[in-house]
Amino acid sequence: MNSRKERIEVIFSAALELDTPEQREVYLAKIGEGGCGVVYVAEQEEPVRRRVALKVIKLGMDTNSAIARFEAERQALALMEHPNIAQVLDAGATETGRLFFVMELVRGIKITDYCDQNNLSTPQRSDLFIQVCHAIQHAHQKGIIHRDIKPSNILVTLHDGVPVPKVIDFGIAKATTQQRLTDKTLYTAFEQFLGTPAYMSPEQAELSGLDIDTRSDIYALGVLLYELLTGRTPFDAKELLAAGLDQMRRIIREQEPVRPSTRLSTMIQGELTATAKHRHAEGPKLIHLLRGDLDWIVMKALEKDRTRRYETANGLALDIERHLKQEPVDARPPSSAYRLQKFVRRNKLMVTAAAAVAATLVLGVVVSTWAVVPGRP
């Protein structure tokens, strides 16, 4: 048994193949569960002794699509080496063929909880968010689109007392055309609804043939920034789920969210006070802080038309850095013509009806005028 991979396989295989969950818990502490995998805390004994996270494919999840997606996730993580992305340490399969991979164990809490528990100010939250943007930029440069950016997939841990965000769970990641994640067939069926609704881009909700690219992650980053600033997502998660699939998709695709400062100003006093306290500020000052640059930065990331979003995660991070340095930002209020265009698209029936009425009135005026013109035939 010469290779490190073989030694790790032997360490974990015995525990993974035990008959019952209770027996496995003696060796492994379960810390998470996803669509096709379960994550445990485990002790690695060789070549170094340390605690690691072990993700193993669930029993019974042996369909081609599940295996392909599991392989794609571990390959995606293996491609990346960034301080803000959880590292893959090794991978293999048990004697009975169950796939697993060993990851860096991230001991942390989701980014929104960390910020609120420590009452981080808006600039401090922005600094953490910039690090997340850099991590996502790294993934994009490696040809990987995360597709499920949300607080529970960004954990904050402490390194020598300094908070460090770590992006985890590339379980539904998608490769760009320049990258290949698995030799097995991996595709997203037309009718599949992948992602978390409150953080999902309009093109993800479209369920059409429109290809998903890195700008879908830019939208999700915009939702995350909105939540860090206001304590709320642009669209309430419970209301989206209660609306049903078709209405949920329509809201995500068509309804414009209110600006962050507007969201704060419409909160009841007690809610605003609590939200501001978690951001080390008073309510009116927090609203004033968001109004302007931060409003437009968030709304640019949340554009329904992906061609109007930031082109890269680094571009979004740079605009926040400009704001923090009191420099002009790239994000700008949309023009009057653009706002009119959006209004027309949102209210097609009303605009069509109004146009028809206006045309009728104009025609009536023309006919009446023509009828009273002296000397008409």
Q: Which of 116, 148, 217, 319 is catalytic?
A: 148
Q: What is the mean pLDDT of residues 180-205?
A: 66
Q: What is the mean pLDDT of residues 262-267?
A: 96
Q: Is the pLDDT of residue 263 over 60?
A: yes
Q: Is the pLDDT of residue 330 over 80?
A: yes
pLDDT in tens, 10-51: 445 445 554 444 444 445 677 777 667 788 888 777 777 788
pLDDT in tens, 143-178: 999 999 999 999 999 999 999 999 988 877 787 755
pLDDT value at position 9?
46
Q: Is the pLDDT of residue 203 over 70?
A: yes
pLDDT value at position 14?
47
DSSP string, 252-317: HHHPPPPPHHHHHHTS-HHHHHHHHHHTTS-HHHHHHHHTTHHHHHHHHHT-SSGGGS-SSHHHHH
pLDDT value at position 145?
92
The DSSP code for 234 is S
Q: What is the pTM for the complete model shown?
A: 0.79
pLDDT value at position 301?
97
pLDDT value at position 224?
98
Question: In this structure, what token pair is assigned to residue 300?
Answer: 């640019």
Higher pLDDT, 210 or 228: 228
Q: Is the pLDDT of residue 374 over 80?
A: no
Q: For the chain, what percent of residues have pLDDT higher than 90?
A: 48
pLDDT in tens, 105-149: 888 999 999 999 999 999 999 999 999 999 999 999 999 999 999
Residue 183 a catalytic site member: no
pLDDT value at position 366?
67
pLDDT value at position 220?
97
pLDDT in tens, 265-302: 999 989 999 999 999 999 999 999 999 999 999 999 99
Q: Is the pLDDT of residue 183 over 50?
A: no
Write out the H or E segment, with its range, that includes residue 99.
Answer: strand 99-104
DSSP string, 33-81: E-SSEEEEEEEE-SSS-EEEEEEEEPTT--SHHHHHHHHHHHHHHHH--
CB-based burial, 30-61: b 16+ in 10 Å, e otherwise = eeeebebbbbbebebeeeeeeebbbbbbeeeb
Task: Report how far residue 228's alpha carbon sits from residue 279's, in angstroms, rounded to the nearest whole number.
Answer: 9
* Region 4-104: CATH code: 3.30.200.20
The structural architecture, per CATH, of the domain 109-339 is Orthogonal Bundle (1.10)
pLDDT value at position 170?
82
